[in-house]
Every structure is written in C-alpha cells, then in structure tokens.
Amino acid sequence: MEDMLFYDRMQFAFTITFHYLFPQLTMGLSLMIVYFKWKFLRTHVEKYNDAAKFWMRIFALNFAMGVVTGIPMEFQFGTNWAKFSELTGGIIGQTLAMEGMFSFFLESSFLGLFLFGEKLLGHKLHFVTGFLVFLGSWASGFLIIATHSWMQHPVGYEILENGKFVLNNFGALFSNVWLWPSYLHNQAASIVTSSFVVAAIGAFYILNNKHNEFGKLFVKTGVVFGLISSLIVAFPTGDMAAKNVVKHQPVTFAAMEGIFETEKGGSEIVLIGQPNMLEKKLDNKIAVPNILSFLTYQSWDAEIKGLNEFDKKDYPTNVPGLYYAYHIMVGLGTIFIGLMFFAVVQLFRKKLYTTKWILWSLLFMLPFPYIANTTGWYTAELGRQPWLVYNLLRTADGASPTVSSGNTLFTLLGFIGLYLLLGMLFLILVGKIINKGPQTINA
C-alpha cells in the first residue's frame, strides 16, 4: 500500500510540476500583452503592436503545451485517486467543471481571434480579444485555486452517511478565507515569471546587438513589472498567505520554519539551517532572534508553537522537503526584489541598457522564477500532507485501491519520456520565434 501511494503521489507530482511550467507564464504574459496593445492604442507607435503580437505567438505555443500536459491530470483523478474523486467530486467537480466550460473556452476562443483577426476586427476590437484572453486565463487560475483552497481549508460542506462530501453553501467556495490571499499571491508570482522572461529576452537582444529597439522595450517593461510583482508576492499577498497557515495549519507553519520546540519569549527566524529529524533540531543554523514573532503577530515576544506541540501522526509527511521548498521560495523571492530594484534604479538613471552585469543577471535568472513558483506550490502541497482535504480526508484514504504500483510506475516512466520530448520541441519552437524577432511579424 505504501509503495502504491508513493508512486501515485510521484506521478501526480511529476505531471503537475511539468504542467505548471506553462500556466504560470500564460497568466502573467496575458497581462503584459494587454499592456503592450493598450500602449499601442494610446501612442500609435507600431513597436508596441508588434510586441503584443510577438508575445502572443509565444503565449499561444505556451497555452497549447499547458492544454496537452493538463489533460492527463484530469484522468489521474479517476485512475490513481478514484476514492478521492468519489468522496469529494460533488464539491471539487463543480469548480473544475466551471474552469473547463467557462475559463478555458473563453481563453481559447479569443486567442484565435487575437492571433488571426486583427485586420478583420480593427485595433480596438483586437485589444478587446486580447483582454478577454487575459480574463479567461486569470479566471481559470481563480477556479483552480478555489478548488485547491477548499482542500486546504474546507468550507461550506457536509458529510453524508456514506462518507461523501456535498456542498451546502456554494458561495462559501468563493468567500473562503484561504482563497483570495492564495490567488493573489499566485497571480503576482505568475507576473514575476513573465516579467523575467520578457526582461531576459530583451537582455538577450541587447547583449547580442540584435533587435535593439525591442530589446530595450522588453527590458524596461520586464523590470518595472518585475519589481512591482516581486514586492506584491512578498507583501501583502505572501504575508496574508503565511498568516492563514499560522492560523489554520499551525503544524505546517512549524515545519516550514523549522521550529521543533516552542520558544518562550519570541521566535527567531532561520535564514540557513538543515532539519535534523533524529535529534529534532536544525543543524548549522543562522537565525535572527524574535523576528519571526514580529512578522507573524507584530509582537517581539509572541509565542509560536513548535512541532513538539502536535501529534506526530499529523506532522507533514516530508518535513525536510517542506522546509527546503519554503526557504528556496523565500530566498529566491528576496533575490528577485533586489535584482529588479537595482535594474529599475539604473533605468531611471538611463544606464540600464549599458549595465552589462544587470543584463547578464536578467538573462541568467530566467529559470529561477520557475523554480520559485514550483517550490511555492511544493510548500502548499507538502504542507497539507498527510491530508488530501485538511483534517478530514487523509491522502492514504483517497488513493485507488485497485491500481497497482507497477502500473503507476510504468505510466510514470512513459510520462517522463513523453514530456521530455514535448519539452525539447517547445524549446526549439520558442527559440525559432525569439530568433526571428518581433519586427518580422506583419500587421
């Protein structure tokens, strides 16, 4: 049973990790495309229109990859997690169906019009189609995170005698205290990813003395969007999300921060350390006294519960994995703020495009927002374990009892091979678009 559960979780973790490489770019990039098109309508400067169409081509390819890699996850609910689907389908099925029926079709329908309908529609209606693509992508994220938030903090439900969950308050799904901080945090993080992608491509053009006008536009837009979104990720959205964890999942918060023993007189914040599960402590730690208490409760001596206060069976399944995922996310987020701050300062000093170390840093940092987003989701998912629905349905009770570990491992290896090929194809196609450059796109 443990092997079966392990491979079920590994397969879903792999497929959803690979899948989310694509939506995090489409959601943020859709906003930036709308911005470029809006700038064109205001200024009638053609480079903004060319920029919008250039990035929409990458958006479309990215969107297609997101669709292809998202479909297998739907099937996994019925294969590997059939018991979870049977018990909770009356609730999560509603938000997932709304995402497919409304958001996906809105996004995909108007994407086609934006790509091919500019001459027919005219620039103003063309802008509207781009805005509707943006609206569809962000609505899709909202409905997915509404589902996720219900699993983290279940509301508006009742449990029938047969163990099935049914919804008795539809509005509670969308007024869940967990939803809005998580959604805003996620969307801001998606803008961080798109900002770094746009800035990195701009830096690539400038450093190679190629498409310089667009390179400067992309770097300028990327760093401004990047600084604003990086700050929003940290505060207020990250702060609100963390306080939700403190209030509703205190054992998760203790594991995230590496607090093994409740500390009297205020809790320190750990900058570096390695969890030692045998001795229940952090090895080689570097910490700042009382800061965690102040950030959490705005009091220097507030008490934060350690793992010693909770039953061991309710500990997150992988405490070191959760701790490292959280600290990687926070560490990278801090670096993003610092780099984008220096870039914006140089932009105002009119020296950004000649400051090589910043341009190289923007180019080098391209993969790191993807890592930060991935570890952020790992923090949320590892933190909820060992529960599928927090405090109500354990992960072990949601797996399909009739799907063997051998079958799951075989299909997992198949997914790894297939996704490797898809990933290589995606990079080749995106590379061709970037190499051609925006000015090759005719109005």
At 73 the pLDDT is 87
Rounded to a whole number of angstroms, the CA Rg of the chain reads: 23
Q: What is the DSSP string of 25-92?
A: HHHHHHHHHHHHHHHHHHH--HHHHHHHHHHHHHHHHHHHHHHHHHHHHHHHHHTTTHHHHHHHHHHH
> DSSP code of 262?
P
At 443 the pLDDT is 39
At 6 the pLDDT is 92
For residue 384 the two structure tokens come to 């909820």
Other residues' Cβ atoms within 10 Å of the Cβ of residue 284:
8
379-409 b/e (C-beta count within 10 Å ≥ 16 → b) = bbbbbbbebbbbeebebebbbbeebebeebb
At 329 the pLDDT is 98
pTM of the model: 0.96
At 1 the pLDDT is 57
Residue 198 CA to residue 187 CA, distance in Å, equals 16
Judge whether 266 and 300 are in contact, CB under 8 Å: yes
For residue 160 the two structure tokens come to 């029938």
The tokens 């793992």 sit on which residue?
Answer: 307
User: In degrees, to the nearest 5, what angle opens at C-alpha 369 toward C-alphas 258 and 268?
Assistant: 20
At 441 the pLDDT is 46
Judge whether 415 and 72 are in contact, CB under 8 Å: yes
User: Under the phi-then-psi rule, with left for phi > 0, alpha for psi from -120 to 50, and beta for the rest, what region is 442?
Assistant: beta
Residue 217 CA to residue 10 CA, distance in Å, equals 41
At 220 the pLDDT is 98
The rounded average pLDDT for each run of 10 residues, N- to C-terminus, in the chain (443 residues) is 86 96 97 97 96 96 94 88 95 91 88 92 95 96 96 97 94 96 98 98 97 97 98 97 96 96 88 94 93 92 93 95 97 98 98 97 98 98 97 95 91 95 97 88 43
* Among 329, 180, 172, residue whose Cα is nearest residue 240: 180
Give the three-state DSSP class for 288: strand
